[in-house]
Structure 1
Amino acid sequence: MLVIKDDDNTLNRIATALEEINVTLKQILGERTPNLLQNVQNTSFGSLELEFFSNITQVYVEEERIKVEKNLKRKSAVRVSNELGIRMVNFFNRHLTNLTALTYDGYILFKKEDENKALFRFQTDLGFNRGEAYYDAIKHGVELAKKLGVPISNLFFMIGSIHNSIDNSHVKKILGTTDIPDNSILLSPSYHDLLVKYLNAYIESIPYLVNPHKQIFLLTSSVHPNVLAWEIFNKNQSIPQNIKFLEPSVTELIKTLELI
């Protein structure tokens, strides 16, 4: 894993970004707004991840507000997707010095001047694309990268939450055992090592990519942005201070993109 050391400028950018999120959430929630700044860690592994996760969660908080105010039965997947794209573009453009990010057909395209350099797709969770069904999403990304002239080694994916991302039968198949608890138990802290073992084996099995472990990133298994957004809006909850990120995913992605 690549871990880069934060400098003052990096932490200042993160603090500024989280303050902007606080201001927007205050507009949505009024005085119920949680203080995101108190969650910034003084290490690179955690601060970028928290900022990224907070941006994703804010999209769902805003969508929850719209759903409640307009008395809708469900959230708009299209609006969420569009807003996530905007948030991620702003995030990457704050932190990258050599590339420009823009949305492209559900992906984030990174350009240097007029040259397409890298491609990134974020999914909050795998949903119906769990298990081997995720291979089709990878294949689609590979085909799009080829169309855009992006090297396959510069194609990246991120899964925001492992919640709603596990096919239990696939876990048994990958690990070669039927002695696997149901998903709610598998996601508990007591089974963290088993979960990590499965995730590593799963990523290793994914075809089409040059180096899956360097191209597929996992954010967290402890919370889901959509669920957390509901709690923030409806129960006056705040973003937990102890979110456990699976790896320095955002940190590594930023570092990798800076070297392209």
Structure 2
Amino acid sequence: MEGLTKTISWFIGIALIALLFFILGDIILVSIKNFSLSFLLDSPFSGGRKGGILPIIVSTLLILIISLVVVILIGLNSSLYLAEFADQNNRSITIIRKSIEILSAVPSIVFGLFGNAIFSVYFGMGFSILSGGLTLAIMALPLFITTVEKGIRSVPNNYRHVAFSLGMSRFTMIKAIIIPYSLPAIFVGIVLSVGRALAETAALIFTSGYVDRMPESIFDSGRSLSIHIYDLTMNVPGGDLNAYKTSLVLIVLILTTNTFLNASLTRWYRKRIAL
């Protein structure tokens, strides 16, 4: 029985890897045709059939930055509160945790409608990069909080006892011990947030909008890479080639961001060990 389970696991793993390489191979082979630097530096025209995607890359990065800033500021503080300050036996805290877990499973289209109603309409932001970034932040927060809280709670209690016995305040203990020890979980939460933000389409259609011109501020409407791919594929006849090339840019952007975060974490640990 154990051998059969192992064989099935290997088969599923190999099948998933093969599927991944098939998808990447198809995107790369099609995208490489007529791909040039001008595609990254020019603005789109003719509905996106021609030109490049520079305004779309800028809009995507602005949406991502807004989302990450909100997620890290609110998510990290929320995780610290739930793990370090909240009464673990309190029924209200248990309900809050369960609610956060439930929010992680809510479809993105629901977050999009919520973001449109709250940010675009109620707060008067309209279809804007700020509205899209805040909506993505709300989407990413539940997963980020859950991931980081588990990382913080994995810190051995002995570390806390030693810190208090040395006369450290709770703030100093969190800053010097808890956060550095929890950095892997924090980085995992950031990576997951980046992946969800860059790949999201449904929520941004109702918040950041479709406009493909260069944004002048975060209050302008902006089209993300994922929306551009969707629009070229579904609504623009003859836009398939540029959709493939945009997909390649999106994949490279996700891989580059994840690689940078992992390299930064590794470098930080090496410096800390050297000290």
Same fold (TM over 0.5): no
Greater fraction helix: 2
| TM-score computed with the length of structure 1 as normaliser | 0.26
User: Which protein is richer in strand relative to its size?
Assistant: 1
Which has the greater radius of gyration?
Answer: 2
TM-score, length of structure 2 as denominator length = 0.25
